[in-house]
Amino acid sequence: MAQITITIPDAIAPRVLNGFAKRYNYPITLEDGSPNPETKAQFAKRKVVEYIKHAVREAEIEQARNDAATTAGASVDTDIQLS
């Protein structure tokens, strides 16, 4: 299995996590008012994983659409003979 490692120096880790949490709307408390059990680091990791999955999903969907369009176009060109 491939691994992706991101190294953030300890001196700026709080800055990075706080900025990431703010950018992606980390909730300090849940809707019911209870504290969020997910740490900022766990939240950041989850959001990075979601981002990667979304990017792969979108790329593969686009490729499948392109492949389907190519196949359909070729089928029309070879199967439909009009005179």
User: Does residue 60 lie in a domain region?
Assistant: yes
User: Does residue 43 lie in a domain region?
Assistant: yes
User: Does residue 17 lie in a domain region?
Assistant: no
User: Does residue 82 lie in a domain region?
Assistant: no
User: Does residue 15 lie in a domain region?
Assistant: no
**Containing structural domain, residue 69:** 38-73
Give, in order, the Cα–Cα distances in Å from 59 to each of 24, 42, 46.
22, 26, 20
Work out the pLDDT band at 82, boundaries 50, 70, 90: confident
User: Does residue 47 lie in a domain region?
Assistant: yes
* Residue 81 in this model has a pLDDT that exceeds 90: no
- Average pLDDT, integer, range 71-81: 90
- Average pLDDT, integer, range 35-52: 96
User: Does residue 62 lie in a domain region?
Assistant: yes
User: Does residue 49 lie in a domain region?
Assistant: yes
Work out the pLDDT band at 78, boundaries 50, 70, 90: confident
Instruction: Please state the domain count of the chain.
Output: 1
Give, in order, the Cα–Cα distances in Å from 62 to each of 24, 39, 41, 67, 70.
26, 34, 32, 9, 12
Work out the pLDDT band at 77, boundaries 50, 70, 90: confident
pTM attached to this predicted model: 0.78
